[in-house]
Amino acid sequence: MSGCDRIKKAASLAQAGEGGRQVVSLAAVREIASSEGLAVRELEVELLMNNLVPHRYLRNIGTLGMDGQAKLLMSSAAVIGCGGLGGWIVELLARVGVGRLTLIDGDVFSESNLNRQALCTEANLGRSKAEAAAARVLEINSAVETVPCPLMMTQDNAKALLEKNNIVFDALDNLPSRLLLLETSQSLGIPMIHGAIAGWWGQVSKCESDALASLWRNKGEKGIETVVGTPGFTPSYTASLQVALGVRLLLGKKTPSGLLWMDLEGPALEKISL
């Protein structure tokens, strides 16, 4: 079946949705993709480019647009750390439809993760965080390709892990790894969205300069979170800001510079120049 015939078939199965858009159900998308030997993501992009909306993305379109949704599906992102911040980042990227996710974490779940990590449950204690992240993506959005990497990022493997991505999300919990991530992403010309959390506080930044790196080099390996802990609401809020910033960047929209600092006890959200 030609591309034109596929679109005609999808259009014949479409129903009217919100805003007068023509919506194609997940079942129909899967049926057509299977019969054509296409990946679901390939077909979803094709539909969007022909003004047909895969139903799963209907509530994205008013914000992102048809072209924007297609662009996200054709994008690749790496999430470094699949724990507190990273678990929520993975959840949001899968739901918004970023098409390929490299999920990097050499750790496994422990009981102390249960209070805040979206992917951690009592049933999967001891399971690889990277593999759990990939399984969660499959449950949410089977069109998204995952590359689970159950290993720690090192000087030796960092470039190979990151080089095929359009963006990287920093969800790390120690400064040496964060510095390595920044240096590697800068050497590859890949934008990095930084996030960090502790207690009531979080911070997010698109790392465009060495200002943050200079601060990190003067600190110890761990931050204040070892003292104040991290309740569950802080990573979920911080991850949302990271993903929003990352989506803007992937769509080619102007993204703010500086550091976004949040105090959820206040509550307050401030923009700090670096």
Within 13 Å and on the Cβ side, how many CA atoms surround 107? Answer: 18
Tell me the pLDDT band of 222, cut-offs 50, 70 and 90: low
pLDDT digits (tens, 9 = 90+) for 129-140: 999 999 999 999
> Mind listing the pLDDT tens digit for each residue in 72-124?
999 999 999 999 999 999 999 999 999 999 999 999 999 999 999 999 999 99
75-272 under CATH 3.40.309.10, yes or no: no
Q: What are the residues facing 271 on neighbouring strands?
A: 260
Chain centroid, CA 266 distance in Å? 27
Q: How far apart are the first and last CA of the chain?
A: 55
CB 240 within 8 A of CB 96: no
Q: Indicate the domain borders of the chain.
A: 3-60, 75-272
DSSP classification of residue 39: -
Question: How far apart (Å, rounded) are the C-alpha atoms in residues 69 and 44?
Answer: 9
> Can you say how many angstroms the Cα of residue 250 is from the centroid of all Cα atoms in its chain?
11
Mean pLDDT of 227-253: 94
What pLDDT score was predicted for residue 257? Answer: 81
268 DSSP β-pair partners: 263
What predicted TM-score, i.e. pTM, was given to this entire model?
Answer: 0.94
Q: What is the pLDDT of residues 170-219, one digit of tens each?
A: 999 898 999 999 999 999 999 999 999 999 999 999 987 676 766 666 66
146-150's contacts with Cβ under 8 Å and 24+ in sequence apart are 146/100, 146/101, 146/102, 146/103, 147/100, 147/101, 147/102, 147/103, 148/103, 149/102, 149/103, 149/104, 149/105, 150/105, 150/106
